[in-house]
């Protein structure tokens, strides 16, 4: 039996025993949208991009239940993005580990949620927490059969197989709560000062890294694109962005540029917080990136993007709103040698991206 199946079996046993001893507050009946809801907890405990995909659903929940107290259960990595946000009365941070479950339960019980909405989190521990916290209604987005095994312990699950964009599947989950599902616009959860665009200079961001090397455009390709941009005859500033653990990528990138070319490059990799990253991206004319969190920040900020996809499907995780602002390069390749290589994204050339930039930037 796999580790995941063992966890599911253990949580199922614990919840069955808990119900037998304590009784069952959870309602598996259809939720009545007219029911009074005073407290809601929303789980979004994974990556930056996942949180951004969840923002339309979060805002729809807030709109439907304007008087409800909203608690966000968040990842530590997104703390700088959500801490102090006016969207939430409080934020609880969870490392998605079994050992910290009781701490999260204790914090949730300080304002027992009437409803818990699990948009993106670690199953089955999220369902265990939700039941132990005493929620009457639990809505969970299900991604796989292990999630579906939690069906007896939640009020409602989304469809396991849902071949639409992730934003749309999150909205479909809350439809039965009476929430509006038409607004797909991602938003930034705090106010900030938008950077003023530079006059007569095109500021183009490069997101160098990705969550997996298979989704990362090779640094040599970024070097090739940078040289094409700098030698294009336009006034260009290239701004490198990325997390602190991607600092080696920026170092490698800079090593591939001449001293004169480096004068057109600003390196911000690992040097700005998430909030500062939002402000930095707001000053871009365009961002070149793979399927990463900063792509979704740029989309929310209505900054033009050229996004690169080979192993991921942009129909699920690419730009959904404002399609006129974004150019997606999606290359499907049946060559096993390419798809199983260390960096399959290398199949996208700098010339491919340069052409896409010229199509997105007005009067290039």
Does a structural domain hold residue 195? Answer: no
Task: Give the residue-averaged pLDDT of 50-55.
Answer: 98
Residues 21 and 137 in one domain: yes
Does a structural domain hold residue 192? Answer: no
Does a structural domain hold residue 194? Answer: no
Q: Residue 281: pLDDT above 60?
A: yes
Q: Residue 15: pLDDT above 70?
A: yes
C-alpha–C-alpha distance, residues 9 and 123, integer Å = 12
Q: Residue 159: pLDDT above 80?
A: no
Q: How many domains does the chain have?
A: 2
Contact predicate 173/63, CB 8 Å? no
Residues 208 and 171 in one domain: no
Does a structural domain hold residue 250? Answer: yes
Does a structural domain hold residue 96? Answer: yes
Three-state DSSP at 123 gives: coil
Task: Give the residue-averaged pLDDT of 26-30.
Answer: 77
- Of 125, 160, 176, the residue at which a domain comes to its end is 176
Does a structural domain hold residue 29? Answer: yes
Q: Residue 336: pLDDT above 60?
A: no
Residue 363 has what pLDDT?
Answer: 58
Residues 50 and 141 in one domain: yes
Residues 242 and 317 in one domain: yes
Q: Which two tokens stand for residue 352?
A: 């491919």
**Structure confidence by residue, pLDDT tens digits, 178-223:** 999 999 999 999 999 888 888 889 999 999 999 888 899 999 999 9
Of 2-6, 119-123, 333-337, highest mean pLDDT: 119-123
C-alpha–C-alpha distance, residues 91 and 352, integer Å = 43
Looking up residue 310, the CATH number of its domain turns out to be 3.40.50.2000
Does a structural domain hold residue 93? Answer: yes
Residues 37 and 123 in one domain: yes
Instruction: Write out the residue range of the structural domain in which residue 23 sits.
Output: 3-176
Q: How confident is the model at residue 1 (pLDDT cuts 50, 70, 90)?
A: low
User: Which has the minimum average pLDDT: 50-64, 239-253, 332-346?
Assistant: 332-346
Does a structural domain hold residue 167? Answer: yes
- Of 111, 141, 176, the residue at which a domain comes to its end is 176
Residues 70 and 210 in one domain: no
Residues 162 and 232 in one domain: no
Residue 185 has what pLDDT?
Answer: 98
pTM: 0.94
Residues 213 and 355 in one domain: yes
Residues 153 and 222 in one domain: no
Residues 112 and 53 in one domain: yes
- Of 141, 161, 176, the residue at which a domain comes to its end is 176
Residues 315 and 214 in one domain: yes
Residues 34 and 100 in one domain: yes
Task: Give the residue-averaged pLDDT of 92-113.
Answer: 96
């Amino acid at each position: 039996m796999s580790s995941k199946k063992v966890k599911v079996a253990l949580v199922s046993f614990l919840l069955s025993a808990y119900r037998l001893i304590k009784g069952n507050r959870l309602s598996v009946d259809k939720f009545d949208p007219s029911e009074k809801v005073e407290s809601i907890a929303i789980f979004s405990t994974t990556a930056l991009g996942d949180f951004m995909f969840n923002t339309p659903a979060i805002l729809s929940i807030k709109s439907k239940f304007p008087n409800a107290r909203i608690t966000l259960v968040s990842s530590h990595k997104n703390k700088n993005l959500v801490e102090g946000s006016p969207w939430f009365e409080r934020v609880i941070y969870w490392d998605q580990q079994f050992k910290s479950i009781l701490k999260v339960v204790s914090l949730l019980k300080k304002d027992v949620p009437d409803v818990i909405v699990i948009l993106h989190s670690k199953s089955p521990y999220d369902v265990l927490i939700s039941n132990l916290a005493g929620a009457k209604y639990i809505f969970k987005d299900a991604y796989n059969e292990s999630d579906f095994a939690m069906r007896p312990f939640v009020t409602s699950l989304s469809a396991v197989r849902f071949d639409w964009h992730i934003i749309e599947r999150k909205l479909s989950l809350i439809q039965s709560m009476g929430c509006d599902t038409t607004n797909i616009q991602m938003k930034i959860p705090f106010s900030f000062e938008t950077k003023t665009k530079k006059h007569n200079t095109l500021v183009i961001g490069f997101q160098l890294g990705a969550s997996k090397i298979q989704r990362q455009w090779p640094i040599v390709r970024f070097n090739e694109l940078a040289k094409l941009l700098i030698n294009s005859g336009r006034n260009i500033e290239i701004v490198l962005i990325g997390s602190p653990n991607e600092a080696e990528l920026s170092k490698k990138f800079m090593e591939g540029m001449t001293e004169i070319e480096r004068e057109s490059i600003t390196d911000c990799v690992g040097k700005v917080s998430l909030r500062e990253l939002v402000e930095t991206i707001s000053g871009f004319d365009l961002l070149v990136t793979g399927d990463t969190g900063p792509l979704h920040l740029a989309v929310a900020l209505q900054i033009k993007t050229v996004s690169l996809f080979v192993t991921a499907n942009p129909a699920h995780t690419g730009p959904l709103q404002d399609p006129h602002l974004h150019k997606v390069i999606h290359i499907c390749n049946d060559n096993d040698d390419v798809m199983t290589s260390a960096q399959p994204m290398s199949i996208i050339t700098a010339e491919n991206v340069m052409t896409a930039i010229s199509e997105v930037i007005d009067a290039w």
